[in-house]
């Protein structure tokens, strides 16, 4: 039985959005003449567009739903994923790494590895990345189909096929530019769809002060340490006194350094947006412009989850499903009964926190806007992955290994074909995930192992000219192996050996799964760094001449001296960091 | 490399936001007496209010697009926006 039903006005809102999305694809079709237009937007977009797309491309299933879920689970500490887990890395990418990505004229992140190191390092990165984009896009589709069928009673197959069809149409027609333009549109839709949810939610709770007061009340009645839901740093001295179960060092090193820099500074999905910018300055401004809304996003996507935890009968709401906490329903097993943990406490279905807020707070009309914003976020995630896939496939796999020197028209055709193929494979992935749910956990784990060491390789490549291709290649493999070994030897409290780790011998015990994840990343990074350095010192370095424009010490610094001081990227970067520090203090 | 993109994104954003705003605000105006529909928002006619907000933001984007188009015409003085994009239409 669906949770709610849409009225004609809701369908009208949704219809308007889809018509616009397809219209953009159609209008851009005329501008797609070369493979460079199609796969790189002809490197011609202004920074406000690439900046908002940079942010939006990352708004897949994990963001809007997942961060609301984390808000309900961890409270305001979820903001660590933004304030320490994103902003510093985005600033670093803008100031120190974009000059190499953009200046080397590489067409993709794997291609930079080819220029800096060698073919095998590029291929390793390209193949792993291509597989990951297909899988992520499939997971986006699957999560959307599942959510809409639960919420609105829509047919899973129809949801998946229609959304795939729309993304296919606008990406095949207008390529990367179309994906980027639509991502900007999705950004505005998400902001306008979720801002009123937060405003109405805070009002329903009784105001901003009451929100924090009532969260503390829940903390007290659940006998949790003080500040569990309402503070970001206060309990970080010990894993037992904060909601995410990590101590500050693991948080800062694992999330704030290894994972965050590994994602924001090396993931082609986001870096591709900055590489499509019209100039070096625009490319460097892209992540900085993205960081401004990113810094404020916790208020948009995390707060709904926290509010869902407290709204209830006393505020005139009847939670659908019942037996949960606030509007967050209990997780139900295959038998339809609410699930309980070993201590007899109800397990909450946190992923439904934000959707339940939409359903409970929005009347018809706004409900259509909210659901459309949700669908937009899933489609942004899908399109982002598909456009990253078609570029890496065409340039780093097909052109590198199948047909080296064909005509540009051939690669343009290949880019379009790869888009169709990528979406077909994503569909297959979506159905594989829905048939065997374990696949999702398993592949997520594999990709986490592959990604963990990446930043070590890029940092060595860009800032140490002595590092070599052999060093990078074996370092990456060693990093992944290190992650596998550490995960196999460790286990989080409450987990059983298997997919959650400890498959060799559970020697190390962590207080939470996040702590285990962060430390796995730290070990992977360390292993990659150590092996890369040792192998590099044992192998022959490339002559300096070949590395100009690719390594920090051999490249002219982009000079911002001619720009007015307030226009310089460094000025914006300092302002961003100051703002982030201020937010951390305000929610300490 | 194709320089001129056939589409000004400001217009697309402005058009969508204004159209959605108009739709929601009209619906809100039509349902202003339907108490039951707005019980969940504490009596706030959120459709009307938020529709007007979106309409205003959409109109601002459309104005920016029109201003940009006018200053991008040949012979016109380049606008600040044009200097930022190297004089290229978006």
Q: B-chain residues within 8 Å CB-CB of A42?
A: 1-3
What is the Cβ-side half-sphere exposure of residue B82, based on CA atoms within 13 angstroms?
A: 15
Question: Quick one: pLDDT at residue A176?
Answer: 92
| Paired tokens of A359 | 């359903």
Q: Which of B2, B12, B51 sits opposite A37 (nearest CB)?
A: B2
Residue indicated by tokens 């011998």: A505
> Can you give the pLDDT at residue A160?
92
Residue B60 contacts A where some CB pair is shorter than 8 Å = no
SS3 (DSSP) at A580: helix
Q: With an 8 Å Cβ cutoff, are A20 and B86 in contact?
A: no
Helix, strand, coil percentages in chain A from 3-state DSSP, rounded to 5: 75, 5, 25
Listed residue (A47, A39, A400, A374) closest to A197, CA to CA: A374
Q: Tokens in use for A360?
A: 């409970």
Residue of chain B with shortest Cα separation from A192: B54
Q: Rounded distance, CA A55 to CA A179, Å?
A: 13
State how far the Cα of A527 lies from the Cα of A571, in Å rounded to an integer.
35
Contact partners, residue A493, CB within 8 Å, separation at least 6 = A509, A510, A511, A512
Q: Following DSSP, what letter does each residue of A116-172 receive, concatenated? A: HS-HHHHHHHHHHHHHHHHHHHHHHHHHHHHHHHHHH---HHHHHHHHHHHHHHHHH
ipTM: 0.89
Distance of residue A282 Cα from the nearest chain B Cα, in angstroms: 9
Query: Residue A70, Cβ neighbours under 10 Å: how many?
Result: 27
Predicted pLDDT of residue B84: 43
**CB contact at 8 A, A543 and A284:** no
Closest alpha carbon to A32 in A418, A424, A416: A416
User: Which chain A residue has the Cα nearest residue B87?
Assistant: A46
Residues of chain A with pLDDT under 50: none
Report pLDDT digits (tens) over A522-564.
Answer: 999 999 999 999 999 999 999 988 888 899 888 887 777 778 7
CB A185 within 8 A of CB A38: no
CB contact under 8 A, B2 and A34: yes
Q: How many CB atoms lie within 10 A of CB B69?
A: 14
Put simply, the answer to whether A363 touches B50 (Cβ < 8 Å) is: no
Helices (H), ranges, A436-468: 437-451, 454-463
The DSSP element (H or E) to which A509 belongs, if any, is: strand A508-510
Nearest by CB: A203 against B42, B51, B53: B42
Is residue A307 within a helix (H) or strand (E), and if so which, with residue range? helix A303-310
Residue indicated by tokens 């306008």: A192
Cβ atoms of residues A416 and A38 within 8 Å: yes
What Rg do the C-alpha atoms of chain B give, in angstroms?
A: 19
DSSP A311: -
Taking a C-beta distance cutoff of 8 angstroms, is the pair A231, A77 a contact?
yes
Q: How far is it, in rounded angstroms, from Cα B32 to Cα B46? A: 10
A505: Cβ contacts below 8 Å, ≥ 6 apart: A488, A489
Chain A residues near residue B90 by CB distance under 8 angstroms: 45-46, 49
**Cβ atoms of residues A576 and A295 within 8 Å:** yes
Give B-chain residues touching A315 at CB under 8 angstroms.
none
Is B23 close to A16, i.e. CB distance below 8 A? yes
Are A535 and A80 spatial neighbours (Cβ–Cβ below 8 Å)? no
Distance CA A558, CA A388 (A): 27
Chain A residues closer than 8 Å to B44 by CB: 200, 203
Find tokens 């379009």 and name the residue.
Answer: A416
| Residue A165, token pair as written in the block | 């069809």
Interface test with A, best of B26, B40, B87 (most A CBs within 10 A): B40
- A33 and B2 in contact by Cβ < 8 A? yes
| Residue whose entry in the numeric block shows the structure tokens 């018509």 | A19
Query: In terms of Cα–Cα distance, which of B43, B50, B61 is closest to B25?
Result: B50
Question: Which pLDDT value is given to residue A224?
Answer: 86
Closest CA to A43 of A126, A91, A107: A107
């Amino acid at each position: 039985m669906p949770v709610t039903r849409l009225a004609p006005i809701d369908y009208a809102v949704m219809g308007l959005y889809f018509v616009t999305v397809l219209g953009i694809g159609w209008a851009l079709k005329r501008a797609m003449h070369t493979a460079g237009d199609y796969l790189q937007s002809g490197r011609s977009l202004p920074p406000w567009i690439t900046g908002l797309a940079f942010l939006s491309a990352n708004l897949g299933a994990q963001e809007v739903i997942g961060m609301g879920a984390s808000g309900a689970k961890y409270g305001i500490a979820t903001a660590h994923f933004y304030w320490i887990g994103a902003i510093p890395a985005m600033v670093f990418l803008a100031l120190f790494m974009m000059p190499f990505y953009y200046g080397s004229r590489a067409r993709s992140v794997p291609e930079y590895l080819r220029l800096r190191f060698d073919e095998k390092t590029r291929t390793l990165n390209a193949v792993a990345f291509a597989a990951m984009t297909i899988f992520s896009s499939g997971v986006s589709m699957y999560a959307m189909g599942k959510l809409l069928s639960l919420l609105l009673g829509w047919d899973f197959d129809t949801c998946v096929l229609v959304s795939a069809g729309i993304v296919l149409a606008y990406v095949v027609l207008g390529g990367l530019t179309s994906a980027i333009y639509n991502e900007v549109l999705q950004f505005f839709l998400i902001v306008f769809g979720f801002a009123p949810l937060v405003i109405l939610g805070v009002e329903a709770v009784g105001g901003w002060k009451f929100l924090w007061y009532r969260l503390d009340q829940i903390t007290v009645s659940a006998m949790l340490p003080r500040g569990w839901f309402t503070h970001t740093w206060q309990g970080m001295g010990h894993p037992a006194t904060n909601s995410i179960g990590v101590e500050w060092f693991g948080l800062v090193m694992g999330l704030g350094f290894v994972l965050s820099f590994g994602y924001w500074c090396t993931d082609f999905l986001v870096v591709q947006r900055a590489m499509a910018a019209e100039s070096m300055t625009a490319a460097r401004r892209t992540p900085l412009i993205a960081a401004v809304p990113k810094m404020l996003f916790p208020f948009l996507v995390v707060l709904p989850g926290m509010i869902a935890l407290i709204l209830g009968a006393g505020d005139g709401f009847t939670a659908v499903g019942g037996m949960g906490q606030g509007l967050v329903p209990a997780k139900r097993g295959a038998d339809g009964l609410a699930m309980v943990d070993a201590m007899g406490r109800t397990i909450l279905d946190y992923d439904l926190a934000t959707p339940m807020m939409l359903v409970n707070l929005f009347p018809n009309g706004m409900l259509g806007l909210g659901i459309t914003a949700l669908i937009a976020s899933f489609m942004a995630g899908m399109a982002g992955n598909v456009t990253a896939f078609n570029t890496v496939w065409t340039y780093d796999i097909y052109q590198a290994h199948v047909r080296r020197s064909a005509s540009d028209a051939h690669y343009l055709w290949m880019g379009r074909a790869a888009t169709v193929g990528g979406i077909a494979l994503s569909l297959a992935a979506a159905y594989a995930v829905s048939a065997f749910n374990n696949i999702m956990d398993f592949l997520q784990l594999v990709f986490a192992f592959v990604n963990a060491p990446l930043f070590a390789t890029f940092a060595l490549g860009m800032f140490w000219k002595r590092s070599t291709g052999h060093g990078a290649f074996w370092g990456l493999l060693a990093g992944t192996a290190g992650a596998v070994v550490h995960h196999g030897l460790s286990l989080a409290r409450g987990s059983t050996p298997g997919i959650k780790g400890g498959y060799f011998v559970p020697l190390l015990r962590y207080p939470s799964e996040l702590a285990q994840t962060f430390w796995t990343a730290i070990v992977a990074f360390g292993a990659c760094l150590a092996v890369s350095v040792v192998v590099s010192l044992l192998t022959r370095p490339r002559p300096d001449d070949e590395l100009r424009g690719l390594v920090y010490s051999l490249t002219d610094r982009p000079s911002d001296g001619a720009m007015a001081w307030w226009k310089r990227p460094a000025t914006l970067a300092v302002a961003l960091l100051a703002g982030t520090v201020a937010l951390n203090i305000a929610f300490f | 490399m194709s320089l001129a993109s056939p589409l000004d994104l400001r217009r697309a954003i402005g058009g969508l936001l204004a159209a959605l705003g108009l739709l929601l605000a009209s619906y809100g105006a039509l349902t202003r007496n339907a108490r039951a529909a707005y019980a969940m928002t504490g009596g706030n006619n959120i459709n009307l209010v938020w529709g007007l907000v979106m309409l205003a933001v959409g109109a601002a984007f459309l104005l920016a697009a029109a201003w940009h188009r006018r200053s991008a015409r040949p012979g016109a003085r380049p606008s600040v926006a044009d200097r930022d994009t190297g004089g290229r239409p978006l």
